[in-house]
Every structure is written in structure tokens, then in C-alpha cells.
Structure 1
Amino acid sequence: MRDDRLLTRIAGLLRQAEGTDNEHEAEAFMAAAQRLATASSIDLALARAHDRSTRTATTPITRQVSIGEKGKRGLKTYVQLFVQIARANDLTVDVASNSTFVIAYGFEVDIDTTEALYTSLVIQMVAASDAYLKSGTYKRETARQVVTVGDGYFRRRAVAEKPLSPITARLNFQSGFAERIGARLVRARDEQRAEAVAAETTAAGSTEVALRDKEVEIRDFYRHSSSARGTWRPSSARSGYSVAARQAGDQAGRRARIGADHTLPGARGAIDR
């Protein structure tokens, strides 16, 4: 069941985050958006736990979300950002083998929230990585990369230190950005959950029980609905690892504001980069 009022309220917080030049205010609005989403998710879990009709009418769903066109470089970091946001909003995600789309499993309101946050943050992630590359600071850094050395029977893999290329710098920057965003959203979610449990007015532990039941229901739904095979990884050893680029992305993730897109609710879809 889609909650347009919730998305409208989240959109308002995102616009406030976008409209301030104060990083602390932007952080507060971002956290408020996630906490509002978490509060709504808790309310739904409690309603389903105590009302049979609500439980019957509101069940987990699947939704395919487009990430980008086949052959575009860097789609894995876009997927990584989506997955980080999804985990903070109680979703399980399958990823296409070529990273062109994901399939989200969970409740509709949580999927809507995740798409709204992703729409804003992916644009900021791309813009921040573009600025990082244009600054040229990556040219002074190196990356550790798995390479093949030797010939014939004596060929083996080894880790080599190489100059940091633009594409490796971008991928590491965006990976660091995605991880930091995930940490920020999870912290806001956990704070809201802790407040809800502390303010419990019904039977002891009912909020925790409802959230646990929700987790189990989504897990069971995923188990019966997913046909995915294998494990998705955000990067490979051969793509190169740069501590400096990831730290730069982490810092950009700390500064990121939620609210680059003012047309919420609704997702922008694939980003053509």
C-alpha cells in the first residue's frame, strides 16, 4: 500500500536539506527523513501485528528498479549505493549479473522510500566524483591491483602498486561514498527504533516482536520468490583498490544532502553516465 503522504513529508525534509548551506542542518534533515521513514515502517509493522485485515491487505512485493544501460562503466557502484539504502529500509535485493537493474523485495512503502533516497543520492554521488576527478588530486595517488606476472607455467597472480587511473579513482570514490551513506542511514534508523522501543506503551517488547516478525516475513517471501544464484560483489580485486579515493568518497558521503531531486515522490530511474 503506497503512502503518498509519507513520501510528501519526506520530500519536504529533502528540500530543506537541499536549501541549507549548513552541513549540520543538512545532516539533521537527512537523518529526519530516514527516521520518518523508519517510524512509518514501525507503525505498519505494529498495525499488521495487531490487525488481521491490515496484515492481509499489506504483504511484501517485488519491484524491478533500473540502474543503467548495459555496457556503462561503474554500474556496480550505483548498485552498491542502492543496496546500502535498501538495507537501512528493511529490503532484500537481488542484482542483475550485469548490474543494469536490481530487484527489491519488501513492503511497498519501504521500496518507495528507498527509491526516493536513491534518486537524490545517486545524482550527488556522480557530481561529487566528477568534482573529485576534475580536481586532479587522484593523480598523486596509487592503487593496489591484482595482476598476472610471469610466463607460461610460471604465471601467477600478484598485487602491484600502480598509478591511480581516472576510472579506478571514480569507482573507489563512489564505493566510499555509498558505504558512508549506508552508515548514516542505518544510524538514523537504529536511533528511531531505539526511541520507539523506549516509548513502548503496549505489551513489553511488542515493537521489537513486530519488527522481528517483519524481518522473518520478508526473509520467507524472498526465499520463495527469488531465483537468484551466486553472490553479488561490489568490486573485484582486478579493478584496483585506492585508500585515498575511498577516503575522498567517504568524506563526500558525510557531506551529502538528501534532496537533489525536488519532484518526489517517484524515482528518476536509470542514470545515464
Structure 2
Amino acid sequence: MTDDKTLTRIGNLLRQAEGTDNEHEAATFLQAAQRLATAASIDLAVARAHDPSGAPAGPTVRQVIIGSAGKRGLKTYVALFVAIGHANDLKVDVAHNSTFVMAYGFPGDIDATEALYSSLVVQMVAASDAYLKSGAYKQEVAAKVVTDRSGWQPRRRVEYTPLSPITARLNFQSAFAERVGARLREARDEARAEAAAADTTRSTSTEVALRGKEVEVVDYHRSQSTARGTWRGSSASAGYSEGARRAGDQAGRRARIGDQATLGGPRAAIGS
């Protein structure tokens, strides 16, 4: 189960990812960190299934500050946290202004999510800054669906306009978050498959334990959450840019974990 020794090992993997200039090595360390976090989570789930009375505490909820009110682009920061959280078995509620999230899950899973997010959000902002500074976005266009009301019946059409810096940033960061989330879910699924293959017991199946954990988190979220409605992520009203998203996706593939990550500790908001 998740303990200080395991958290230290995860932290070491994150720093190794930051310390290499080889993107394949960085990706390997990143995915190794996620697999280790998943393995620790599986151990906890199996322990709870085997002996519920003697197992550590169950799910909890923690508020995580995303940024200050009024800062543009907070939804892409939230999207990154949600993508990482889903890879670590969390349920996440989002504030109406995206300034904070409420993370529901087991403490170790929330710790791992915060650690990954703390580094990846810094990388995401730095990568999008570099993309804008390069000027590459100026060669792209934004596609936006508009309603033409000039005739007797309103018609929807796609309008293409020069790509603005803010629209470029939002598209870039949205694609970055999606790619990182996919990488982490792949690492999680690999760790789960390995654990299931190694499970030779009949009394406490890994798959049954994980399903029990999932149900426990869902039930806890339902009993504690006061959220209303569904969070829909970044609005498409600013426009869609294939070029900016492609650049963001590539940056997400190259993302490495920096030593800003502090497992189990508080994280400063970006742009607060």
C-alpha cells in the first residue's frame, strides 16, 4: 500500500525523467511512476478486500487550488488535473469558475495525482509559451461554427479566421492534457494487467478488489458531492485549430515529469 517509501520511489522516478534529455527515457520514467502509483493502489485495494476491518482509512475528499479567479485558460488546467485524476481512480468535481477542484478518492491516489499534476501543469504552460513565442500559430486558422441569421431561416456555417494567441493556447493545452491522460491511462492499464496475471489467489482476486475500490469511491462521491450539472471542459466558442492541437499533442507525447512534484504536499496555484 502507499507509504512514505513508495512515495519516495515515485518521486525519484519523476526526478529521473526530468534529468534526461532523451524523450524516450523521459516517457519511460513517467510511465514507470504511474505504474508504481497504480501498483501501490492495487496493494491497498487487495488489502482492504482481504481484511476490511484492519485496512487503512477509506476514500476522502481534498480541495486542490487550480488558479485565481479571472485567469484565462483555467479550464485547460482543470482538464489536465481531471485526466490525471481519472488515470488514478479519482472522481473530480469542478468549481463553476474552474478556480479549484474537489478530488474524491483514496489518499494515496490523490497524492499521486497532485504530484503528477504539479509538474505537468508547469510543463504544459512552458510548452504553450514556447509554441506562441515561435510564432508558428500565425500560420494557422481557427474554425468556428457561427449562426447566420441574415436570411429567412438561421443557418449554421463554419467560419475560418486567423488564429489568435489565446485560441492557440487553449487548443494547444487541451490537446496536451488529452495526450498526457492517454499516456497515464495506458501505464495504469499495463500495471493492472500485470497484477491480474500475477494473481494466483482465489480468495482475493485483484480484479474483484479493484472493482470493489471503484464502487467505494463512486459511493463516497455520491454521498459527499454537492456538485450540480456536468463540467464540459473548454468551450468551443473560441474556435478550433488543428495545427495548435497537433502541436499540443506532440508536446504531451514529449512531456517529462519535473522535480516540482511534491508527493503528499500542498501545491501552489498557477498564476495565483
Query: Which category describes the TM-score, using the shorter chain as reference length?
Result: over 0.9
Q: Percent identity?
A: 70
Q: CA deviation at 1:156?
A: 5.4
Tell me whether 1:140 sits opposite 2:117 in the alignment. Answer: no
Match of 1:72 in 2: 71
Is 2:47 aligned against 1:11?
A: no
CA distance in 2, matches of 1:2, 1:191: 19
- Per the alignment, residue 130 of structure 2 pairs with 131
User: Across the two proteins, how many residue pairs are aligned to each other?
Assistant: 272
2:68 counterpart SS class: coil
Q: Are 1:166 and 2:165 matched, yes or no?
A: yes
Name the residue aligned to 1:28: 28
User: Residues 260 and 168 of structure 1: is their aligned pair in 2 closer, same or farther, counting only changes over 3 Å?
Assistant: farther
Q: CA deviation at 1:3?
A: 2.8
Q: What amino acid is the match of 1:39?
A: A
Q: Contact 2:41–2:108 at 8 Å: present in 1 too?
A: yes
Deviation, structure 1 residue 205: 7.0
Alpha-carbon distance between aligned partners in 2 of 1:70 and 1:19, rounded to the nearest angstrom: 34
SS in 2 for 1:33: helix
1:177 aligns with 2:176: yes
* Alpha-carbon distance in 2 for matches of 1:77, 1:4: 31
Counterpart residue number, 2:247: 248
Question: Could you say what secondary structure the match of 2:69 adopts?
Answer: coil
Preserved CA contact (<8 Å) 1:8 1:265: no
Query: Which consecutive residues of structure 1, in runs of 5 or more, have no partner in the other structure?
Result: none
Partner amino acid, structure 2, of 1:74: G
CA contact (8 A) 1:81 1:118 kept: yes
Q: Distance in 2 between matches of 1:110 and 1:227?
A: 21
Task: Give the TM-score of the pair, scaled to structure 2.
Answer: 0.95
Does the C-alpha gap of structure 1 residues 46 and 263 become closer, same or farther in structure 2, counting only changes over 3 Å? Answer: closer
Q: 1:155-182: CA deviations, max 9, x gaps?
A: 6553211111000000000000000000
Letter of the structure 1 residue corresponding to residue 23 of structure 2: E
Conserved? CA contact 1:124–1:260, under 8 Å? no
CA displacement at 1:154 relative to structure 2: 5.8
C-alpha RMSD of the superposition: 1.9
Name the structure 1 match of 2:218. 219
Equivalent-residue separation in structure 2 for 1:231 and 1:100 (angstroms) = 16
* AA in 2 matched with 1:40: A
Counting only pairs closer than 5 Å after superposition, residues 36-115 of structure 1 correspond to structure 2 as 36-55=36-55, 57-115=56-114
Structure 2: where are the runs of 5+ without partners?
Answer: none
Q: What TM-score do the two structures reach when normalised by structure 1?
A: 0.94
**Which amino acid in 2 is paired with 1:17?**
A
SS in 2 for 1:65: strand
The AA in structure 2 aligned to 1:18 is E
Tell me the SS of whatever aligns to 1:21.
coil
How far apart, CA to CA, are the structure 2 residues paired with 1:189 and 1:254?
A: 16
Maintained 8 Å contact 1:197/1:205: no
